[in-house]
């Protein structure tokens, strides 16, 4: 059984190009696998609360000292971490907003990147606590940013997942989507060609 965790974060839900690519990839992947189980999360339809002092304090309070509200907050985070820990493949649909990840996806990261759970501090620096797994990122951009200093999204995702022990990350880009239909169509066609190849 292959466990797939699929997360979309476009403001346009399933109409977003990043969501469409991720959805197509998940379907193609499941068609190839003999047995698979899927957990999908749409962070636009069901956003997580953004990190605040109350939530951070709940994470850092010893379990035996947590209030009922803190236990509820931590249980939500624990469930997200369990989904990630149990997954064999992680598929992410992530558009580029203002040169970064959507705020809903950052909220997701803030619930799973927890010291003592998905990484720990050591004398030699942080150490990831998750077993490595394959991560596919379907990145949709209105402009063309790949391999330029303005693409802060790619290094951020590599660093934050690397912090937790996930190093095997592949990016499939669809760029220039707001630069005219010819550029957009060619970019999406190229991304879908990569998508089909990787799913196979």
pLDDT tens column, 55-88: 999 999 999 999 999 999 999 999 999 999 999 9
Question: What's the whole-number mean pLDDT along residues 13-42?
Answer: 96
- Fold that domain 2-199 belongs to in CATH: Rossmann fold (3.40.50)
β-pair partners for 97 = 100
Question: What's the whole-number mean pLDDT along residues 92-117?
Answer: 97
Binding-site positions: 10
Nearest to 173 by CA among 187, 160, 163, 155: 187
pLDDT of the residue at 84: 98
In the chain, the percentage of residues whose pLDDT exceeds 70 is 100
Query: How does the average pLDDT of the chain come out, rounded?
Result: 96
Position 31 confidence tier, pLDDT thresholds 50, 70, 90: very high
pLDDT of the residue at 200: 82
Question: What's the whole-number mean pLDDT along residues 137-145?
Answer: 96
Cα–Cα dist 37/25, whole Å: 15
Position 89 confidence tier, pLDDT thresholds 50, 70, 90: very high
Binding-site positions for FMN: 10
Indicate the angle between helix axes 181-199 and 17-32, nearest 10 degrees.
Answer: 20
For the chain, which residues make up each domain, given as ranges?
A: 2-199
Position 105 confidence tier, pLDDT thresholds 50, 70, 90: very high
Cα separations in angstroms, 80 against 39, 53, 108, 177, 187 = 11, 19, 8, 31, 33
Residue 132 has pLDDT above 90, yes or no: no
CA angle 192, 194, 195 (to 5 degrees): 60
- DSSP E strand boundaries for the chain: 2-8, 36-42, 89-95, 119-122, 125-128, 134-140, 169-174
Quick: pLDDT tens for 142-193: 999 999 999 999 999 999 999 999 999 999 999 999 999 999 999 999 999 9
């Amino acid at each position: 059984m292959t466990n797939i965790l699929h997360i979309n974060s476009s403001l346009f839900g399933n109409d977003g190009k990043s969501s469409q690519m991720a959805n197509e990839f998940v379907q193609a992947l499941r068609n190839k696998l003999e047995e698979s189980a899927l957990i999908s999360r749409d962070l636009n339809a069901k956003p997580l609360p953004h990190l605040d002092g109350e939530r951070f304090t709940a994470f850092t309070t010893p379990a035996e000292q947590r209030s009922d509200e803190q236990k509820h907050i931590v249980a939500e985070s624990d469930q997200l971490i369990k989904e990630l820990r149990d997954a064999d493949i992680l598929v992410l649909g992530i558009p580029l907003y203002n040169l970064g990840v959507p705020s809903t996806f950052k909220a997701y990261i803030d619930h799973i990147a927890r010291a003592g759970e998905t990484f720990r501090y050591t004398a030699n620096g942080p150490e990831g606590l998750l077993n490595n797994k394959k991560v596919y990122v379907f990145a949709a951009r209105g402009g063309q940013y790949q391999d330029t200093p303005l693409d802060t999204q790619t290094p951020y995702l590599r660093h934050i997942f690397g912090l937790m022990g996930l190093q095997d990350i592949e990016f499939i880009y669809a760029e220039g989507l707001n630069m005219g239909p010819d550029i957009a169509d060619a970019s999406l066609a190229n991304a879908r060609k990569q998508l089909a190849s990787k799913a196979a």
